[in-house]
Amino acid sequence: MLSHDQVWTAIDALAARHGLSPSALARKAGLDATTFNRSKRLGPDGRLRWPSTESIAKVLEATGASLADFVGLTGVKAGQPPRIPLIGMAQAGAGGFFDDAGFPVGAGWEEIAFPAVTDENAYALEISGDSMLPLYRDGDVIVVSPASSVRRGDRVVVKTRDGEVLAKELKRRTARTLELRSLNPDHPDRTLDVDDVAWMARVVWATQ
C-alpha cells in the first residue's frame, strides 16, 4: 500500500522528469490543469484527497512511463513493506483524526511498516497505560481494519459520539445496543446505545 504522500511525490517527480509543472503534466494528459494542484491534495476539513486511478493511467500514457516507473518514483523500494498510519490511543479521541465512518484522515499521523494487511484504510494505535492488561500492555501497537467485518468475539475499537475511544471485545450486538466485554477483568463491561456509537472497527493484529 502506498501512502498519500508517496503517490503525490511520484506525480511531482514524474512531472519534473519531463520538465513540467504538475499543472502542465495534467494538461499533457488531457486533464484539467488544476487536477494535481497542491490545493487539491487536502480537503477543507483536512481530509486527504487522492488522485484517481484514471488520472494516473492518463499521465503514464502521456509520458510513456510504466507503472513500475511510477512506483519507483514514490521512493518505495522493491520488497519494502508498506506503511500504515499510527497515532497513540490517547490521541484517537480528539477530533480531526477520523471521518464519520472511522477511516483515518488528516495530518498528525506517524507511519509504521506493516506488510500483513490488505485494507488500504488500516491504521495502528499505540496503547498507553495499563487499563487493557493483561492483553495489551503500555507501548503495544494494535492494527485496526475499518473494512473488516465484525463478529461476536472479535476485539474491536469503538468510538462514541462523545469522543471516547474504547478497545474491547464485542460480546453482543442488537438493533439498539452494543455489549462490550472488557479486556481487563478489573474494569467493568460496557453496554452502549447504538445511537451513541460513532463507529466500530475490528482489531486484526497486535504486538505481543
CATH code given to domain 4-73: 1.10.260.40
Report the predicted TM-score, pTM, of the whole model to 2 decimal places.
Answer: 0.62
Q: Identical fold at 4-73 and 83-206?
A: no
Q: Which of 21, 26, 92 is nearest to 54 (CA)?
A: 26
Q: How far is CA 151 from the centre of its chain?
A: 21
At the second CATH level, the architecture of 83-206 is: Ribbon (2.10)
Burial of 158 (0-12, 13-18, 19+ CB in 10 A): buried
Q: What's the pLDDT score for residue 94? A: 84
Task: Tell me the domain boundaries of the chain.
Answer: 4-73, 83-206
Q: What's the pLDDT score for residue 105? A: 84
Paired with 88 in beta bridges are 126
CA dihedral 53, 58, 63, 67 (to 10 degrees): 30
Q: Are 142 and 186 in contact (CB under 8 A)?
A: no
Cell of 38: 497542491
Q: Phi, psi at residue 69, to the nearest 5°? A: -60, -45
Is beta strand 190-193 parallel, antiparallel or unpaired with respect to 110-113?
unpaired
pLDDT tens digit at each of 208 positions of the chain: 567 888 888 898 899 988 889 999 999 999 999 999 988 888 777 778 888 888 999 999 999 998 888 888 876 655 556 678 899 998 898 888 898 889 888 878 888 877 666 677 889 999 998 888 888 889 999 999 998 889 999 999 999 999 999 999 999 999 999 999 999 999 999 999 999 999 999 998 887 5
Q: Are 103 and 48 in contact (CB under 8 A)?
A: no
Residue where the block lists cell 472479535: 154
